[in-house]
Structure 1
Amino acid sequence: MSEVDDAIASARASWSRISDDRTGAVIPRTPSRARSRQTQAIGKRLTRIAVADVAILIAAMVIGWIVPLGIGGAMLVMALLVAATVLFAVWPAERAPTPERLAAVDIRALPAQTERWLEAQRPALPAPAMTLVDRIGLRLETLTPQLATLDANTQEAVDVRKLIGEQLPAFVKDYEKVPASLRTTPRNGRTPDAELVDGLKLIEQEIGEMTARLAQSDLDNLSTRGRFLEMKYKD
């Protein structure tokens, strides 16, 4: 097998790991995904605090060059620094989008917005669903760059919007409407918790298959380019 064939095989194997074709393969996942998102949120707060404090200090320096601040001015600057720090430390985090908003958001931003919405539903979901929420989040991250250049009017875009912008939120909301006391009670042989987990598994697998389908043209282009290079430059 040539080096080009090796490269193509490696690329296809990578996409196969991402696609999870219902054979039971497990995609790489981050067990501390929620913690990572929390760390990012804290980082944003710290950045806002730093920017505000620097702006206050620069303003104080400029004013001090013109008019001496004195002890009273220094105390005022300290009070402003404390106030800015407290304000941005307790400022409410950006709210997750509503299902109605997801149905209308731009297709390129839909995976990230859906992931934010799904993360906000964690408190209402059973423990067995948490791993699937993490895996769906990873699927959505993989899908995001693929949608950056996708025409929103294509059938592929319509299918993506239908699944992650409508069906996924509706499915989870239907589960949340079930009283908590009944979620572990069997009904027709299955509990609502089990139905939720099974449904999330299907959604996660379908997102993986969508990713693989969207990548097919890129894989074909790679293969064609590799063959061309092989024919043109190989001794």
Structure 2
Amino acid sequence: MPTDVDRELNRIGDTLNRVRSRTDVAVSGRNRQHREAEVVRRLGRIAVADGAILVGAIAFALIVSPLGIMGAMLVGLLLIAATIFFAALPASAPVNVEKLAEIPLKALPRSTERWLETQRPALPSPVRGLVDSIGVKLETLTPQLATLDENSPAAMEVRKLVGEQLPELLKGYGRVPEPLRRVERNGLTPDQQLAQGLQLIDDEIAEMTAQLAQGDLDALATRGRYLQIKYQGEEG
């Protein structure tokens, strides 16, 4: 017969499952949108390349001489080669994390999100949900930064958190040798420190988004919070 403890554990488990389900739905929709956008970009490049080949072939036939069978075959081969090449070519260049500080503010969340997606497989399973949650919040933050002055204190605070502290947190964790990531030091393991840092960043992005939505730029600019994460020593 289930005890009160069992019922409480089941209730907590159900709550966690509902939260996880909502995050999974948001992440699934975001990933689907990204895949669709990538397909559109690839198809656009293929259309431009094939169009240029056809225009060049028609111009050659009208100005120089008819293409003939061999010329038509060559054009066909060029069309096939261009289609295969641009279909296989990545839709967007990889994000250089060292260049995030130079990216325009309105493009910073999406670039950081793309970089996060490349880091996700190397992170421990328990924190991947946090990474997904941060990705969803970054996507929500993007349109709010479009009208924010690049040189305003609020913009600098956003850039510090998203473009500096978040990448530094993951790079710092990556520098910890694999065997030491689950070894406790000063009461916490590096895996636990990573989870705490990501949770803090997730909460901070949510608060920044709310403050931008309310137009409360002064509060955003004067938050003054900085991550204090320890990896085998102290790193600010």
TM-score by length of 2: 0.72
Secondary structure at the residue paired with 1:109?
Answer: helix
Q: Which residue number in structure 2 is paired with residue 226 of structure 1? A: none
**Greater mean alpha carbon deviation, residues 85-94 or residues 102-111:** 85-94
- Point out where structure 2 has 5 or more consecutive residues left out of the alignment: 1-18, 217-236
Distance apart, 1:81 and its partner CA: 0.9
- Residue 74 in 1 paired to residue 72 in 2? yes
Contact 1:53 1:81 in 2 (8 A): yes
Q: Which residue number in structure 1 is paired with residue 53 of structure 2? A: 56
Q: Which residue number in structure 2 is paired with residue 204 of structure 1? A: 202
Distance apart, 1:137 and its partner CA: 1.6
One-letter identity of the residue aligned with 2:97:
P
Query: Structure 1's 95 and 181: CA in aligned 2 closer, same or farther, altered over 3 A?
Result: farther
Q: Which residue number in structure 1 is paired with residue 43 of structure 2? A: 46
Deviations 1:45-101 (A, max 9, x none): 232112211221232233334422111101110121122122213334533333331
- Distance (whole Å) between structure 2 residues aligned to residue 47 and residue 126 of structure 1: 37
Deviations 1:135-173 (A, max 9, x none): 212211221222111122322112111110110010011
Secondary structure at the residue paired with 1:86?
Answer: helix
Q: Which residue number in structure 2 is paired with residue 143 of structure 1? A: 141
Matches for 1:1-235 after TM superposition, within 5 Å: 29-31=26-28, 33-34=30-31, 36-66=33-63, 67-217=65-215
Q: Which residue number in structure 1 is paired with residue 9 of structure 2? A: none
Contact 1:31 1:134 in 2 (8 A): no
- Distance (whole Å) between structure 2 residues aligned to residue 71 and residue 196 of structure 1: 64
Secondary structure at the residue paired with 1:103?
Answer: helix
Counting matched residue pairs gives 195
- Distance (whole Å) between structure 2 residues aligned to residue 197 and residue 32 of structure 1: 24
One-letter identity of the residue aligned with 1:44:
R
Q: Aligned-pair RMSD on alpha carbons?
A: 2.6
Contact 1:33 1:134 in 2 (8 A): no
- Distance (whole Å) between structure 2 residues aligned to residue 95 and residue 179 of structure 1: 29
Distance apart, 1:126 and its partner CA: 2.0
Query: Structure 1's 114 and 84: CA in aligned 2 closer, same or farther, altered over 3 A?
Result: same
Distance apart, 1:205 and its partner CA: 1.0
TM-score by length of 1: 0.72
Contact 1:57 1:77 in 2 (8 A): yes
Query: Structure 1's 183 and 140: CA in aligned 2 closer, same or farther, altered over 3 A?
Result: same
Q: Which residue number in structure 1 is paired with residue 224 of structure 2? A: none
- Distance (whole Å) between structure 1 residues aligned to residue 118 and residue 90 of structure 2: 14
Superposed structure 1 runs of 4+ greater than 6 Å apart: 24-28
- Point out where structure 1 has 5 or more consecutive residues left out of the alignment: 1-23, 219-235
Query: Structure 1's 35 and 214: CA in aligned 2 closer, same or farther, altered over 3 A?
Result: closer
- Distance (whole Å) between structure 1 residues aligned to residue 145 and residue 32 of structure 2: 27
